Copies of this chain bind each other. A is one copy, B any other.
């Protein structure tokens, strides 16, 4: 069963948009929307400029489709994430581990953040969608876990911004890695466990 050297035309056609989106991702995160040339994307795929326009109407549409494309895996795995425990500590730890794995340690997600920060002003829709499908659900989930902990007298009365304070180190770590990871790598697992450790103590302490 030898590997298929040449894909059929039908296979080729089905793959093209994906190939282009992959290439677009790499180019856009490397140079930003404006400084990326459509031709760069084409070259990376191994086709000519015109081919890009067979699949995407404009550079803007290509960018937006690409953002959609790289956002999908997280949305998918978030939908599939279920807490298996009733213990608020374990629930929080479990969810934070999940977020670290899916966001901090996923290059795609880290770079997606770069784009949200850098191109958000030019693509407000992206911000809205990112908020609605990412930030809002995540914050809400944290909120629920904290609420449950508070209701059961395990966590202390929460502050209004507590969910964001719990979330902030994740965003911070993402950005830290985006900026400095090349020269100052950071031990993500250590950061995660430290963050959790701090949180567990910080939240529990109230009960003392």
Contacts and interface: CB of A to CB of B under 8 A. Distances in A.
Interface of A: 30-35, 113-114, 116-122, 127-128, 130-131, 135, 159-162, 164-165, 167-173, 175-176, 178-180, 183-184, 186-187, 190-191, 193-195, 197-206, 208
20 contacts: A31-B34, A31-B121, A32-B32, A32-B34, A34-B34, A35-B122, A116-B179, A117-B117, A118-B118, A120-B178, A128-B183, A130-B179, A131-B183, A135-B184, A162-B198, A165-B169, A169-B172, A172-B175, A198-B198, A201-B202
Given A32-B118, A208-B208, 17 more contacts: A114-B118, A117-B117, A118-B118, A131-B179, A131-B183, A131-B184, A160-B187, A161-B186, A161-B187, A164-B186, A165-B169, A168-B168, A172-B173, A172-B175, A199-B202, A201-B201, A201-B206
A203 B199 CA distance: 10
A195 B131 contact: no
Given A161-B194, A167-B172, A193-B159, A127 B180 contact: yes
A70 B182 CA distance: 24
A34 B30 CA distance: 13
Nearest to A126: B179
Contacts of A172: 167-173, 175
A129 to B, nearest CB: 12
A204 B169 CA distance: 20
A162 B171 CA distance: 16
Contact of A190 (B160, B191, B198, B208): B160
